[in-house]
Amino acid sequence: MSSIRSALANARGMGSAKSGVGHWWAQRVSAVALVPLTLWFVACLASQLGADYASVTEWLSSPLQASLLAIYLAAIFYHSQLGLQVIIEDYVHTESIKMASLIVLQLANILLAVAAIFSVIMILVGAAG
């Protein structure tokens, strides 16, 4: 099919949104990572429902388990930020409120992800408490 786009626009591949498929692709890649990680995470939680402090710290004293949880947390907060960003862009039409919401969203997600991952590392190395 012939395109009404100019040759330059086609070569850039940015489409009508002018930002390309970067956001869309990042959402898919994080989604693919989250499929097996979510099943693993739910299985970990379900097998120790109402777990006490000792069993949680023992679970996260394994480098493999702690690594998987750190990756899961990074993927969760990244995917969550990408999704909530689209919701804000869809429904918040006042430019100033939209910008402020997007900035708060991104910073809050970075804060939560870093704090949660540092907590996992602290438990792993036995620095918790």
Cα 24 to Cα 27: distance, rounded to the nearest angstrom: 5
Q: Does residue number 53 form part of the binding site for other proteins (CB under 8 A)?
A: yes
Q: Work out how close the CB of 118 gets to other proteins at its nearest, in angstroms, rounded to a whole number.
A: 7
Pick one of 26, 44, 57, 65: the residue that binds other proteins (CB under 8 A).
57
Q: Work out how close the CB of 8 gets to other proteins at its nearest, in angstroms, rounded to a whole number.
A: 28
Cα 6 to Cα 12: distance, rounded to the nearest angstrom: 10
Contact 59, 44 (CB under 8 A): yes
Q: How many residues bind other proteins (CB under 8 A)?
A: 39
Q: Does residue number 115 form part of the binding site for other proteins (CB under 8 A)?
A: yes
Cα 13 to Cα 105: distance, rounded to the nearest angstrom: 28
Stretch that binds other proteins, among 3-11, 15-23, 95-103, 113-121 (CB under 8 A): 113-121
Q: Does residue number 1 form part of the binding site for other proteins (CB under 8 A)?
A: no
Q: Does residue number 128 form part of the binding site for other proteins (CB under 8 A)?
A: yes
Cα 76 to Cα 43: distance, rounded to the nearest angstrom: 17
Cα 27 to Cα 77: distance, rounded to the nearest angstrom: 11
Q: Does residue number 77 form part of the binding site for other proteins (CB under 8 A)?
A: yes
